[in-house]
């Protein structure tokens, strides 16, 4: 099962995981080529994808669900990871310019609450990028990778979810066209699979990616005062007493 940081870390340390990270990073950078001066938030297990953005952004934070666990990252600098309740993100209103959601949408048990919190912490001109397993792909049918666990989605389902949660979809695309096999030949050919898939089979990728903007005119249906929260990063080494259901882990092997 890919339900905690140890399993996710080990997958991304494998040759198949490194291939997935490389291809998805490339697509993410096509969507967000420049985040200089912006506040960047990752939710879920986003550590394999954060480095290019962290090198540019004014501030980078990685929130990891309590049920998933947490680890220190990056290994060479100050920790940016926080353990968080998905229904109560420890961030001020309208404080994040970019929000990346990976290994979160398909596994959360508090979907609407999570989306409400993302809407709350996003700046008015912010952008959200949702990355989730594609329900009609080989990746979602193979439980040997994290993309084969949880609830897979079609692009249309994600777009409907975003509209229902007060976001406006802007762009959608698919990625991971290579099959989820550990064959050396297939892994070496992954870039070719990606180019061919994007050109000839653009809706058959293993992952759906949808960018969305915040509907600033939307209302929540509830009247609450704005909340100001204190961020408490996890020091290094990891402290004891992480909430039940969470697991404190050591540095991620970024590869």
Reported as a single tens digit per residue, the pLDDT across 51-66 is 999 999 999 999 999 8
- Residue 133 has what pLDDT? 97
- In angstroms, what is the C-alpha Rg of the chain? 17
180 in Cβ contact with 205 (< 8 Å) = no
Please state the domain extents for the chain.
5-216
- Is 3.40.50.150 the CATH classification of the domain at 5-216? yes
d(CA 248, CA 5): 9
Phi, psi of 28 (to 5 degrees): -60, -40
DSSP 146: G
How far apart CA 13 and CA 30 sit, in angstroms, is 24
Q: CA triplet 55, 56, 61: central angle to 5 degrees?
A: 75
> Could you report the per-residue pLDDT of 94-115, keeping only the tens digit for each?
999 999 999 999 999 999 999 9
DSSP reduced 3-state for 101: strand
Dihedral sign, Cα of residue 52, residue 53, residue 59, residue 62:
negative
In this predicted structure, what is the pLDDT of residue 236? Answer: 52
pLDDT at 193: 87
Q: Residue 167 belongs to what H/E stretch? A: strand 167-175
Q: What does the pLDDT profile of the chain (255 residues) look like in tens digits? A: 467 899 999 999 999 999 999 999 999 999 999 999 999 999 999 999 999 999 999 999 999 998 899 999 999 889 999 999 999 999 999 999 999 999 999 999 999 999 999 999 999 999 999 999 999 899 999 888 999 999 999 999 999 999 999 999 999 999 999 989 888 888 888 888 899 988 898 888 999 999 999 998 755 544 344 444 444 454 454 434 444 334 433 343 444
Q: What is the pLDDT of residue 237?
A: 45
- The CA distance from 43 to 17, in Å, is 19
| Paired strand residues for 177 | none
Token pair belonging to 147: 């993309």
């Amino acid at each position: 099962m890919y339900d905690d940081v140890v399993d996710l870390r080990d997958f991304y340390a494998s040759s198949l995981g490194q291939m997935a990270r490389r291809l998805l990073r490339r697509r993410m950078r096509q969507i967000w080529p420049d985040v200089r001066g912006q506040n960047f938030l990752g939710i879920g297990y986003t550590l394999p994808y954060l480095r290019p953005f962290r090198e540019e952004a004014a501030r980078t934070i990685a929130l990891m669900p309590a049920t998933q666990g947490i680890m220190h990252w990056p290994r060479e600098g100050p920790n940016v990871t926080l353990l968080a309740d998905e229904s109560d993100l420890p961030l001020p209103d309208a404080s994040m310019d970019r929000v990346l959601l990976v290994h979160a949408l398909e596994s959360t048990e508090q979907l609407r609450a999570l989306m409400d919190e993302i809407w709350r912490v996003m700046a008015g001109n912010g952008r959200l990028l949702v990355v989730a397993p594609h329900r009609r792909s080989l990746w979602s049918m193979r439980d040997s990778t994290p993309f084969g666990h949880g609830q897979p989605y079609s692009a249309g389902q994600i777009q409907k979810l975003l509209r229902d949660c007060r976001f406006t979809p802007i762009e959608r695309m698919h990625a991971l066209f290579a099959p989820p096999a550990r064959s050396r030949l297939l892994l070496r050919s992954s870039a070719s699979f990606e180019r061919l898939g994007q050109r000839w089979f653009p809706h058959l990728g293993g992952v759906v990616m949808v960018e969305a903007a915040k509907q600033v005119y939307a209302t929540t249906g509830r009247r609450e005062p704005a909340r100001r929260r204190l961020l408490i990063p996890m020091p290094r080494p990891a402290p004891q007493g992480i909430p039940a259901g969470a697991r404190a882990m050591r540095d991620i092997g970024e590869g």
